[in-house]
Amino acid sequence: MLRISLTLLFSFLMTVLHAQQIKDGETLDLDGIAVTFNIVNKESVDVKGQSFDRYKVVASVQNNTGKSFNVRLKTYPDLSSIGGGKIVELNCVNATGARLTSKKLEVSMATHQIKVTYLNRNNDGKLVNSEMTIPAGFFLDSGQKVENDAIFIVPKGEAPQVSVKKLM
């Protein structure tokens, strides 16, 4: 029991130690990956008779490492690479999750998509060529910037308390 508790504590501490705090308008450099966090809108909302502050936030990631990153999918769908495109994760520790809003925000690489032509039977039973677009992998070129947004609802009068950790 003690061994399990120590293992869980160690895992939690490693997660906390790798996460860094980030505030509105700040940019953190995580080994050449520049992460910027911005609040773009704030409004007050009532949820079940309680007042909260609702923030729309945007996180952007720029690759300043001087090298490109590529993750290729082996098969479609490649279940082992589902998380392969994620670059950073931002966690809002004081977010409530009310009204189906977020408690975390992930920024992922761009998706590399290809068109595939395949034989298909139409309504008359005749073989015809059909096309579909499928993901072939993820990429983040040198200098490229990607972003994502989310809505955080926090207790009234509090700003989002956000930590960021690198996933790749």
Q: What is the pLDDT of residue 166?
A: 94
Q: How far apart are the first and last CA of the chain?
A: 32
User: Are 149 and 102 within 8 A, CB to CB?
Assistant: no
Q: What is the pLDDT of residue 36?
A: 98
Q: What is the pLDDT of residue 79?
A: 56
Domain ranges of the chain: 2-111+137-166
Q: What is the pLDDT of residue 67?
A: 96
- Would you list the DSSP string of 113-153? EEEEEEEEE-TTS-EEEEEEEEEEEEEE-TT-EEEEEEEEE
Weakly modelled stretches of the chain, pLDDT under 70: 1-17, 75-84
User: Are 150 and 57 within 8 A, CB to CB?
Assistant: yes
Residue 131's beta-bridge partner residues? Answer: 117
DSSP state of 80: G
Q: What is the pLDDT of residue 72?
A: 85
